[in-house]
Structure 1
């Protein structure tokens, strides 16, 4: 007698395509027909102009200060606003405040021609793709301003203007030096 092999062979599971194509929902794209369009970049969408622009920005943006010549400077503009005074420690002359910052600058390495990328004049990209300015508060107890949120996005314009909006955080400020 020859040995017989008995085994259970499962049928192949056939996956049916979903009734609704939800890939468009995952792209997180919000179009605005005014001002050249407001788009959150999706580098996986190479077929459309937004994906091509996102890929181009990712390859041309620099993670170090964007200067073409080491003897030039980059101007960073900062506006600050105070949300609230969280805590006031009169004994130690410390105030903890909640504030926000709007930061913008010009980056010569991320200028593009809108006509090449379907007329797109501005786009939102993750801040981990680009150089971000670091700034320090003069009277801060804890040193510099906290890091940017990892999921934040930067607004980039075709002329090289970069903008980070609504950076918020809590800061301890010493008031000793104000009155001495």
Structure 2
């Protein structure tokens, strides 16, 4: 139902490149390439298939990115219409081969990982709050209070995963909303939430 993804700079055969990690509780895959782009990510997700497929999923991908047929001939358009069409055909191939059905992609919110169903990694989400510059004691206190609430909630989620219970599930959903809809009066923190 989910995969986690990330990429980092890596050297391979004396060349700078990027290593993309994809995995979940059942597998881990590492691919080193020379690009850190959505096009590269989709090629990695294609799992060795070499085809491009124009199907309903490919066309939906292109429409979501406002790709119009006549614009394909104008190569000076931003975003690049050829890249969007290629990404769409890769996404079509991924779906045509039955890969990633109803799968949520969990990442650090990097643009190359932005596909249909996605989730932000807890560590990366909290890191935004942790790195937030505070300028007053009140802002610092709000930041620290939120960080504590987030990590306390995360620990309770892990406990719930070990021993699921419908009542605890409802309570956790309500608690999530209370934490992330909270308004602290610290505008930057409130936007992050």
Relative to the length of structure 1, the TM-score reads 0.23
- When Rg is computed on C-alpha atoms for both structures, the one with the higher figure is 1
Relative to the length of structure 2, the TM-score reads 0.22
As a proportion of its length, which structure holds more strand?
Answer: 1
